[in-house]
Each structure stands twice: as C-alpha cells, then as structure tokens.
C-alpha cells in the first residue's frame, strides 16, 4: 500500500486472459507489463481464462507471479459465457501492502444455476477501522434479465454484510449502461445488434431507451457510481466516456456511501492488450477512516 496512505485498486477485463486463439501470449505480456507499471495494491480481473479451461489456475498464478502479487481468489465460471470459454473473475493482492485477507468467496455453488458472476475478498486495510469487501464482477453480456437477477443477488449480499460493518467496492464489466452517461439516440443506435438485448429497449414511438436496471438496483442500496460521483477534475479523462468497443461505459466501479468519498482519483486507460479500458482508483485511507466514522 502506498506510503502516502492511499489504496490503489485496478479493475481490468483481460479479454480471454490475454491469450489469443493461436495461444499467443503477446497481449498477456503487454498487459502484465503495463499493470506492473501501475503497481496496484488490489487487482480485480475479469475474463481470467487460459487456452484450455483446465489451465486457468496455472494461468492465474502465472499472472500473479508476473505482477509480483498473490492470487487470492478465482471466481466460478461466468454464467452465460460461450461454451468452452470458461470466463472467470479473480482477485490479486500486491505483496508487501499490509493488506490482510480475512475471507474470500463466493461459496461453491451446488448447481450450475447457483453460480454467481463475481469473486470477492474481504480485506483489512491498515489505518481503516472497517474492512472492505472487494468484488470483481462480470455480468452476462446477453441478457438484461440475467443482469438484473445477479445484480439483485449482489446488492442483497452487500446490504446484508453492511449490517455487520463491511464496506463494499464492486468493480468490473457490468455489460450494461448507467444513467450518468446520458446516451443520445445516435449513440444508442450505433451500438451493434449483438449487445442491444442487454442494453436497449425500443419504445412504441421508436425511441431507443437504455436499460438501467442494474444501476438502479445498486443505487437502491446506496452504492455510488464512482466515476459519475467525482468532479471532472478528479477524473482522467474528465468526461464520462465509453469503456468498451461496442459503446457505453460498461466498466464501472461502485462503492458504499461511506467509502465513495474516499476515492480521490479515477483513471480510465485504453491499452492495446484488451478491448476494455482498465479502471484505476486511488482511495485516501485518511478520508475513508473519517467518513466511516461519520456515516452510520
């Protein structure tokens, strides 16, 4: 963890684990090299994947070694992923950060339909009186109904744990839109047909309407859309811009009411290694400690 009393958190969709169809690892090398330069304390991954599903654990640990981090948890296969894709979420923690892992999850599902599209780790952060549970989330790309269902399960989990004093930071690829982006009709119309079932509805008069159910569920328990809640001067880029190639700010970070004010900086970075922008958050531990005590 930064000596300046800051917690650096990164969230990145790795695009098939950084491995191409010909099993080339050039993108993986480029991505891990770039992430080493960012030196996150906590890394929330989506699409942690190997060339073969049986190799995902080896790939996770190879990624951790390349970054000088520890692999804390590998999430279950993502519901709704294409057959054989075996997308996973994962969480890695930087070495020498002083972060203590108290708990990981989710618990193993007994049936395929019980799988949830996230990995989680409860962390004790030096200087913070309350632990933070970090969630790496990857909602299905193909169904607004599935998205709202899993968002409701996640929101219930976060709200229940908040009653026991946990803070939440949920980042990842939500595969849907948020109201702060105020997408125009032209922007919605430009989205490819393959992503529209989970992002757009057509009203009777032909108007295109963004589907905002996931954000509304999360906001319903008080979670803040971090990028939207920050003033432009604390964001890079200053505007709210798309994070994926199909349009829309589908990669987002949400935080508990007591934690959101502690986010001092937000960066959204495009790399050639993946088709999603990486999210980089800087949290002030001093601010978090004071807001935790002030917000019931």
User: What's the pLDDT tens digit per position in 138-174?
Assistant: 999 999 999 999 999 999 999 999 999 999 999 999 9
pTM of structure: 0.95
Q: Would residue 204 count as lying in a domain?
A: yes
Whole-number percent of the chain with pLDDT over 70? 93
pLDDT for the residue 112: 62
133 belongs to a structural domain: yes
Domain that holds residue 226: 6-294
For strand 100-105 and strand 88-94, is the pairing parallel, antiparallel, or unpaired? unpaired
| 280 within a domain of the structure (yes/no) | yes
Q: Is 202 exposed, middle or buried (0-12, 13-18, 19+ CB in 10 A)?
A: exposed
pLDDT greater than 50 at residue 193: yes
> What pairing do the DSSP bridges indicate for beta strands 118-124 and 100-105?
antiparallel
| Residue 268, token pair as written in the block | 């959204």
pLDDT of residue 83: 47
pLDDT for 10 beyond 80: yes
- CA distance readout (Å), 292 to 8, 79, 84, 112, 223: 18, 34, 43, 37, 14
**Does some domain include residue 1?**
no
Contact 89, 116 (CB under 8 A): no
Q: Report pLDDT for 87.
A: 87
Report yes or no: 88 and 78 within 8 Å, Cβ to Cβ: yes
Query: How many structural domains compose the chain?
Result: 1
259 within domain boundaries? yes
Q: What is the CATH number of the domain that holds 140?
A: 3.60.10.10
pLDDT for residue 278 is more than 70: yes
- The answer, yes or no, to whether the previous bond of 237 is cis (omega within 30 of 0) is yes
Q: Confirm whether 175 is domain-assigned.
A: yes
Residue 211 belongs to some domain of the structure: yes
Rounded to whole angstroms, how far apart are CA atoms 283 and 281? 6
């Amino acid at each position: 963890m930064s000596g300046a009393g800051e917690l650096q958190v990164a969230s990145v969709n790795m695009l098939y684990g950084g491995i191409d169809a010909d099993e080339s690892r050039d993108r993986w090398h480029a991505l891990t090299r770039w992430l080493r330069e960012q030196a996150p304390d906590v890394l929330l991954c989506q699409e942690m994947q190997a060339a073969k599903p049986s190799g995902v654990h080896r790939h996770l640990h190879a990624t951790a070694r390349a970054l000088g981090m520890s692999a804390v948890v590998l999430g279950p296969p993502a519901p709704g992923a294409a057959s054989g894709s075996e997308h996973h979420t994962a969480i890695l923690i930087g070495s020498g950060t002083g972060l203590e892992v108290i708990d990981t999850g989710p618990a193993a599902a007994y049936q395929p339909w019980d799988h949830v599209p996230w990995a989680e780790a409860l962390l004790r952060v030096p200087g913070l009186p309350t632990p933070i549970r970090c969630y790496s989330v990857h909602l299905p790309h193909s169904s607004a109904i599935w998205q709202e269902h899993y968002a409701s399960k996640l929101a219930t989990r976060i709200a229940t744990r908040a009653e026991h004093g946990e803070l939440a930071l949920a980042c990842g690829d939500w595969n849907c839109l948020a109201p702060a982006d105020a997408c125009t009709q032209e922007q919605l119309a430009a989205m490819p047909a393959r992503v529209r079932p989970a992002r757009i509805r057509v009203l009777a008069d032909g108007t295109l309407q963004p589907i905002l159910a996931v954000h509304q569920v999360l906001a319903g328990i008080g979670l803040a859309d971090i990028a939207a809640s920050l003033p432009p001067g604390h964001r890079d880029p200053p505007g709210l811009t798309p994070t994926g190639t199909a349009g829309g700010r589908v990669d987002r970070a949400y935080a508990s009411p007591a934690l959101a004010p502690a986010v001092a900086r937000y960066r959204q970075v495009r790399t050639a290694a993946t088709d999603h922008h990486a999210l980089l958050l800087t949290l002030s531990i001093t601010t978090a400690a004071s807001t935790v005590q002030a917000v019931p």
